[in-house]
Chain A
Amino acid sequence: MNMQIFQALLDGVLMGGVYALAALGLSLIFGVMKITNFAHGAMMTVGMYTVYVVSTGLGISPYISLIFAAVTLFVLGYVIQHFLIDKISQAPTHNQLLLTLGIAYILENGLLAVFTPNYKTLEVDDFEGSIKLGQITLSPEKLVAFAVVFVVTAVIYLMLYRTRTGKAIRACSQNREGAQLMGIVIKKTNAIAFGIGALCTGIAGALLTPILSIYPTLGETFQLKCFVIAILGGMGNLWGALISGLIVGVVESVTGYVAGGSWSDLTVYAAFILILLVKPSGLFGRSNRREH
């Protein structure tokens, strides 16, 4: 195999991990509340700017300010669900979609008003240079991002499967009425689930901040990609989201290498439409909601 293809593959896997984390949040939100969250990209950007502000303001490493981003996004997600989306939980799904779209506009342009449209770049001095393995070059930022993704996913997994709150969230996603009858407070559980979903995309944004130059509408470019991954993995299926995140990352990176960057999105979206049409339940089997 050509070394450059191998490089593209590796880059794809590393970026795919970050996509996967954001998509996992989207998938969780959909799985629990059946909401197609169009504010996901904007929330990711909020995570990016939180890291930027905290890192430059306090002069600390972006990997520590990541914690601030996680907390901010959890609170933001909780508030959005509790005070806005919950009010129309009985409305048709497209109204919920439009509500999140409105929220996205507010968040994104709020950032625009505060930070101007100019690109911001975070200078990272945690690492020196890049890691070379033969002809393969790996950026340490991407490696760390990948590692953090796995830690965060493991924590969320443990939380969902080992804690009462997590079990309540899963119960809601499997059968809302049933969960309610068992004494689970739906409203609070939903808000926590949305908070965790927001936290995922916030951390993903935080991990991208040292890699990319950020601007207020950057999240938009990840919005549709998150939908692609979440649906490919089966909406509500968290492991599916992780695996398809890696797939999308690799497909994008390899098509980018073979045919040029502008074609990579096209491949991804075309595959997306195909999946929507042929197998909307995703790559991994029939059920949207995994039962354990």
Chain B
Amino acid sequence: MNTKKINRITLTALLVLGLIFPFFADYYVLCIGINVLIAALLGQSWNIMSGYAGQFSFGHAVFFGIGAYTSTALYTMFGVTPWLGMIIGAGVAAAVGAIIGFLSFRYKLRDDYFALATLAFAEIFRILVNNTKSLGGATGILIPYLQNPMEYQFASDKTYYYVILIFVALATVYIALMSKSKLGLNLVAIKGNQEAAAALGVNVLKYKLIAISSSAAFAALAGTFYAQYYGFIDPSIVFASSISVEAIVPCIIGGSGTLYGPLLGALLIIPLQEICNSLFTSISGVNMIVYGAVIVAFILFCPDGIFGRIMKIKGKKGAKK
């Protein structure tokens, strides 16, 4: 079985599961399914920037939050439909991503320092929104629920499910096309050795900016979806560092820099947390202990993630490099 075959089987299995899932799920399980897909979208978004382009982000919440706040503010203040707000939000997030990317490139910010800078950016946005009265400040914004599909509001959770499924599929197709294109090859080169890539004529800045901006845009889509689905946002939810971590963990589990890794990772970690929650209702914190333990276990014993490991066993270079 070669890599291509594994990919094809995974794709078919995930697609079938994704499409038929709502017909077998009750309300509660469907809700978990939606959360899986939100995590998967965030994971794929992180995957573009960090898995493929090697820019380790620890502040994806900044893009998620920008997406959520742009569409919500435009909707509640000016009546702009969140469908349009979503696109504007993605644009704003991409622009912020480009600025962060440009600054870090200009000043040669790498690895852990880049991670810390992205974390600080997310914190700054959180505090800014927290102090902006017109954006609801710390109390957040409640979105009036009108059940109008034109306003990105649906009567049935099944519709929400399929909407986010489409976004996850879009992100995955984007990565699939990207990794085969010149862009993807250049990103791999940059991730491997930035100086060598630059010396060979790769426009490092351009490709990094494309990767970071597109990654930011997908995270913003997840943010808008979150706002529309839950109907309420506040700065400590959407700009939280836990969101940034939620973008990373599916990639660690499934394998960052692999096409389906984050999907598989999200499919494992979110239900696992739900199971812990329902098993230990009387003790708070158990699900997060398990969460931490899963991170520790994967980093120690399976640092390439499940897909990365499979690719390695198959002796293919394709997975990470």
Which residues of A come within 8 Å of B, CB atoms? Answer: 36, 84, 87-88, 91, 93-95, 97-99, 101-106, 108-113, 116-117, 216, 220, 224, 227-228, 231, 262-263, 265-266, 269-270, 272-273, 276-278, 280
Instruction: Please give, as numbers and ranges, the residues of chain B lying within 8 Å of A220 by CB-CB distance.
Output: 241
Contact with A along B295-310 (1 / 0, CB 8 A): 1100110010000000
Name A99's contact: one of B58, B119, B288, B296 (CB within 8 Å). B296
B274 contacts the other chain (CB 8 A): no
Minimum C-beta distance from A288 to chain B (A):
12
Name B300's contact: one of A84, A109, A116, A278 (CB within 8 Å). A84
Ordered by A's residue number, 13 sampled pairs between the chains whose C-beta atoms are within 8 Å are A87-B300, A97-B56, A102-B294, A105-B288, A106-B292, A106-B296, A112-B288, A224-B120, A265-B127, A273-B117, A273-B120, A277-B104, A277-B106
- The answer to whether A36 and B116 touch (CB under 8 A), given A98-B248, A216-B285, A273-B121, is yes
Instruction: Give the most central of B56, B120, B121, B299: most A CB within 10 Å.
Output: B299
Name B124's contact: one of A216, A227, A269 (CB within 8 Å). A269
Binding-face segment, B107-115, B150-158, B209-217: B107-115
Cα of A102 to Cα of B112 in the assembled complex, Å = 16
Instruction: Please give, as numbers and ranges, the residues of chain A lying within 8 Å of B292 by CB-CB distance.
Output: 101-106, 109
Q: A97-B58, A109-B288, A216-B285 are in contact. List 12 more A-B contacts (CB 8 A).
A: A36-B115, A87-B300, A88-B300, A95-B299, A105-B288, A105-B295, A108-B285, A109-B291, A113-B283, A227-B116, A262-B127, A277-B107
Q: Once the chains bind, are A276 and B113 in contact (CB under 8 Å)?
A: yes
Instruction: Please give, as numbers and ranges, the residues of chain A lying within 8 Å of B112 by CB-CB distance.
Output: 36, 93-94, 97
Minimum C-beta distance from B153 to chain A (A):
32
Closest B residue to A38 by beta carbon equals B58
Cα of A117 to Cα of B113 in the assembled complex, Å = 32
Closest A residue to B117 by beta carbon equals A276
Cα of A105 to Cα of B294 in the assembled complex, Å = 10
Minimum C-beta distance from B258 to chain A (A):
16
Contact with A along B250-294 (1 / 0, CB 8 A): 001000000000000000000000000000000111101101111
Instruction: Please give, as numbers and ranges, the residues of chain B lying within 8 Å of A106 by CB-CB distance.
Output: 289, 292-293, 296
B185 contacts the other chain (CB 8 A): no
Instruction: Please give, as numbers and ranges, the residues of chain B lying within 8 Å of A109 by CB-CB distance.
Output: 285-286, 288-289, 291-292
Q: Once the chains bind, are A276 and B109 in contact (CB under 8 Å)?
A: yes
B169 contacts the other chain (CB 8 A): no
Cα of A91 to Cα of B111 in the assembled complex, Å = 13
B residues 43-71 touching A (CB-CB < 8 Å): 56, 58
Instruction: Please give, as numbers and ranges, the residues of chain A lying within 8 Å of B294 by CB-CB distance.
Output: 102
Closest A residue to B252 by beta carbon equals A98
Instruction: Please give, as numbers and ranges, the residues of chain A lying within 8 Å of B127 by CB-CB distance.
Output: 262-263, 265-266, 269
Q: Once the chains bind, are B285 and A112 in contact (CB under 8 Å)?
A: yes
Top 4 closest pairs, chain A to chain B, by CB: A105-B292, A102-B295, A112-B285, A109-B285
- The answer to whether A266 and B124 touch (CB under 8 A), given A93-B111, A94-B112, A277-B103, is yes
Cα of A95 to Cα of B111 in the assembled complex, Å = 11
B128 contacts the other chain (CB 8 A): yes
Minimum C-beta distance from A98 to chain B (A):
5
Cα of A227 to Cα of B293 in the assembled complex, Å = 24
Q: Once the chains bind, are B131 and A99 in contact (CB under 8 Å)?
A: no
Instruction: Please give, as numbers and ranges, the residues of chain A lying within 8 Å of B104 by CB-CB distance.
Output: 277
- The answer to whether A113 and B295 touch (CB under 8 A), given A88-B303, A106-B289, A272-B120, is no
Minimum C-beta distance from B101 to chain A (A):
12
Instruction: Please give, as numbers and ranges, the residues of chain B lying within 8 Å of A216 by CB-CB distance.
Output: 285
Cα of A15 to Cα of B295 in the assembled complex, Å = 33
Instruction: Please give, as numbers and ranges, the residues of chain A lying within 8 Å of B248 by CB-CB distance.
Output: 98
Cα of A116 to Cα of B103 in the assembled complex, Å = 42
Q: Once the chains bind, are B296 and A103 in contact (CB under 8 Å)?
A: yes
Name A265's contact: one of B115, B123, B245, B252 (CB within 8 Å). B123
Instruction: Give the most central of A93, A106, A262: most B CB within 10 Å.
Output: A106
Cα of A88 to Cα of B120 in the assembled complex, Å = 26
Instruction: Please give, as numbers and ranges, the residues of chain A lying within 8 Å of B286 by CB-CB distance.
Output: 109, 113
B130 contacts the other chain (CB 8 A): yes
Closest B residue to A116 by beta carbon equals B284
Instruction: Please give, as numbers and ranges, the residues of chain B lying within 8 Å of A103 by CB-CB distance.
Output: 292, 296
Q: Once the chains bind, are A94 and B293 in contact (CB under 8 Å)?
A: no
Minimum C-beta distance from B306 to chain A (A):
16
Instruction: Please give, as numbers and ranges, the residues of chain A lying within 8 Å of B130 by CB-CB distance.
Output: 262
Instruction: Please give, as numbers and ranges, the residues of chain A lying within 8 Å of B300 by CB-CB distance.
Output: 84, 87-88, 99
Closest B residue to A266 by beta carbon equals B127
Cα of A277 to Cα of B101 in the assembled complex, Å = 12
Q: Once the chains bind, are A269 and B284 in contact (CB under 8 Å)?
A: no
